[in-house]
Structures are given as C-alpha cells and as structure tokens.
Amino acid sequence: MELAVFNSVDRDEAIRTLTPCLDISRWVEDVADARPFTSVDELLGQARQAAEPFTPEEVESALAHHPRIGERPKAQTTEAAMSRSEQAGVDPSDDGTAAALAEGNRAYEEKFGRVFLIRAAGRSAQEILASLQERLTHTPEEEDTIVAGQLREIALLRLAGVISEGENA
C-alpha cells in the first residue's frame, strides 16, 4: 500500500493493514492514530517509538501468533504469508538442522514457557540455530528484553514491506 493511501484510509482499514505486522492493539492504534505521515521513515520512526517499551502482557499476546522457527504456518493469512517469507532461510528438507531446531524449540519452550522468537529474515538456519542455542543460556529477564527487541525488529521489517512511498515520493 502506498503511504498516501495508508494516510487516507479510515481508521479501521489502517488497523487492518497494521495488525499483521504486529498484533498488539496499543501499537497498532498508536501508529494508525499518528497519521498522516510525510514519509515512510517518519512512519517507521513512529512505529519504533510506539514499540518502546512493550509490556510483558503485550509480548505474550503477540507471541501467540508466531509459529515455531522451522515450522511453516499453513494458514492463509497475511501474517502467515509474512512468516513463511521471513523463514525462507530455514530449509525444512535439511533433516539435521530441522531436528536441532525442533529440539532447541522444545528446550526453549520448556525453559521460558513461550515460543522462541527471532527475526528470521536475512538469517540462515545455522545462524538461527546458533542464536537459539546461545539464548538458551540466558536468564528469563535477559530473554524478556531480547524477545521484545525481536518483536520490534519483525514489526518494523513487516511494516516497511507493507507501506511504500509510492511513485510521487
């Protein structure tokens, strides 16, 4: 969607556009209500500011919509399509890596009580696995900070992919 169109749609349509980027109502509403934006950079700046900080409840709610790393979501939603694209570097036919990710996911969920979240876009399966193994050594408090940061990164990347300057920029 072009920025000019995003600026001009009604609030409900703006919210529907933003929600697949990050399903945290406060964030979505803050960004939608800050329109109009003069540039995508201004939009991303507002989105970044609205994401500082996320509450623990917001993080937990947002994680409910994220698939495990290495598992391709099958739903036909915009969010699922974004996730499939972001996880393109994880080859499900690589049995060794897939098994290591599955075991790491299980250990992470057992330790932290939530799915392992990482900005997968631009990372190889080996990089993701190395990060997963390193993050398993963290305390819950350290991990809370990292997860909130990963959510911000994912939201901003998705938003940058959804809203463009348009031809007249």
Q: Which two tokens stand for residue 51?
A: 């994401």
pLDDT at site 168? 53
| Mean pLDDT value across residues 101-127 | 92
Of the candidates 37, 33, 106, the one whose C-alpha atom is nearest the C-alpha of residue 69 is: 106
Of the candidates 121, 106, 117, 140, the one whose C-alpha atom is nearest the C-alpha of residue 69 is: 117
Q: Which two tokens stand for residue 112?
A: 């932290």
pLDDT at site 155? 95
| Mean pLDDT value across residues 124-151 | 94
CA 52 to CA 18: how far, in whole Å?
A: 17
pLDDT per position as a tens digit, 36-56: 999 999 999 999 999 998 998
pLDDT at 169 over 50: no
pLDDT at 85 over 60: no
CA 141 to CA 95: how far, in whole Å?
A: 32
CA 2 to each of CA 28, 86, 125, 159: distance values in angstroms, whole numbers, following the listed order: 18, 22, 33, 12
pLDDT at 167 over 90: no
CA 73 to each of CA 36, 84, 123: distance values in angstroms, whole numbers, following the listed order: 33, 7, 18
Query: What does pLDDT average to over the chain?
Result: 87
Long-range contacts of 29-32 (CB under 8 A, 24+ apart): 31/159
pLDDT at 75 over 60: no
pLDDT per position as a tens digit, 86-100: 555 555 566 788 889
pLDDT at site 71? 67
